[in-house]
Amino acid sequence: MQAVKKTSPYIRKDVTTNRMMTDVLIALIPVVFFAVFRFGADALWRVVIAVVVMVGLEALAFGMMHAPDKKAESFIDKLKSRYTSFTINNITIPAVSAVIFAMLVPSKLPLYAVAVGAAFGIVVGKMLFGGTGSNIFNPAAVGRIFIALALTQMFSGAYTDVDLIAGGTALSAIRTGLPFPDVLNSYALSDLFFGFIPGAMGEVSFLAILIGGIYLVVRKSADYRVMLSAVLTFVLLMTVAAFALHPDHVFTFVLYQLFSGGLLFGVVFMITDPVTSPVTRPGRIIFGMMVAAITVLIRLFGAYPEGVAFALLFSNMFVPLIDFPKWSTNKIRPAFLGGLALVLVLLSAIVFFGTGGTF
């Protein structure tokens, strides 16, 4: 028997990578449609720019990474021979990253900034690691964090429109001194749910993202475990924070945090990435909890009002450790559940006492 070298993503069911990526693109349709409805042609242009840059640069890098056929004589034949193993996956996968990246930026972000972020995400976040299956960081998150740090002035709100405030504007309102629950007078829960608020284009509509998430779960193109562990961890820790900060408005505070910012978008379209998330079922539960916990800590104690992209990249670094063959397993044992419970208790204590809670 001859061993065959394979690279991730490792899919443990009868689903091709192309079909899975196509499902993600379909799941993104409600989000993109709402973004175009809400922000107009600005949203569409930023999606187009991101797709052209990411797909084009991946194709260019792919050719540079493959040696030409020595038997080819003409320049054209040599160029063609570099792409003999180029498949539809080399188009759909970067296209998915591009649409996700575009949905992470505000509608008024300059087009050249969108191009810079998309280029950095696909080249540095993916192709420098070896391309599809070799990257450890989510390319869309890499591009988004890069422009947020390198082009900070464009996210300050002073550069153009109000929706350029970093992260979710509803979350920024609390950071700028608007107390809770008074903030609900400006950002009603219904507006947060349907998406009639300023912010990153793909993160504003909880409903559109939810529709896409349901589609992915039904089609089994995304692991519900990582989604569920992230959402439940987030809700638990924010509930603990609410008892410390706003004991009279616990339920409203949790919903406000859940509907605001990019949590659900990240849970549905980013942490479910089969390349940069753990392979095993327990590993994906840990991964979802890690992303959610770091997001909560950033929102409550960090310098940024939103923290999903930062939390995702930080958690990506631990995926090789989580998948380390010596201890990784697909079985969920009682000791594993006990360890998770202990971690949640410790995190809850940090959140409760860190936000000023007392007994």
The pLDDT tens digits for 149-184 are 887 766 654 333 433 333 346 777 777 767 788 888
Between 82 and 1, name the one with better pLDDT: 82
Of 318, 211, 227, the C-alpha closest to 272 is 227
Confidence check: pLDDT of 325 > 80:
no
The pLDDT tens digits for 113-129 are 999 999 999 999 999 99
The pLDDT tens digits for 16-49 are 778 888 999 999 999 999 999 999 999 999 999 9
What is the separation, in whole angstroms, between the first and last Cα of the chain? 65
Peptide bond into 334 cis (omega under 30): no
How far is residue 168's CA from residue 196's CA, in Å, rounded to a whole number? 12
Dihedral of CA atoms 47, 49, 50, 53 in degrees, nearest 10, equals 160
How far is residue 161's CA from residue 63's CA, in Å, rounded to a whole number? 40
Helical ranges in 274-318 per DSSP H:
281-301, 308-316
Q: Are 133 and 124 in contact (CB under 8 A)?
A: no
Confidence check: pLDDT of 107 > 80:
yes
Measured in whole angstroms, the distance separating CA 81 from the mean position of its chain's CA atoms is 35
The pLDDT tens digits for 212-259 are 999 999 999 999 999 999 999 999 999 999 999 989 999 999 999 999
Q: Is 353 helix (H, G, I), strand (E, B) or coil?
A: helix
Confidence check: pLDDT of 130 > 70:
yes
The pLDDT tens digits for 257-313 are 999 888 999 999 999 988 889 988 899 999 999 999 999 999 999 877 778 999 999
* Domains of the chain by start residue, with CATH: 17-354 (1.10.3430)
Between 65 and 294, name the one with better pLDDT: 294
Stretch 328-357: mean pLDDT, rounded? 89
**Quick one: what percent of the chain has pLDDT higher than 70?**
89
**Which residue has 């391309």 as its token pair?**
131
**Which residue has 């849970």 as its token pair?**
267
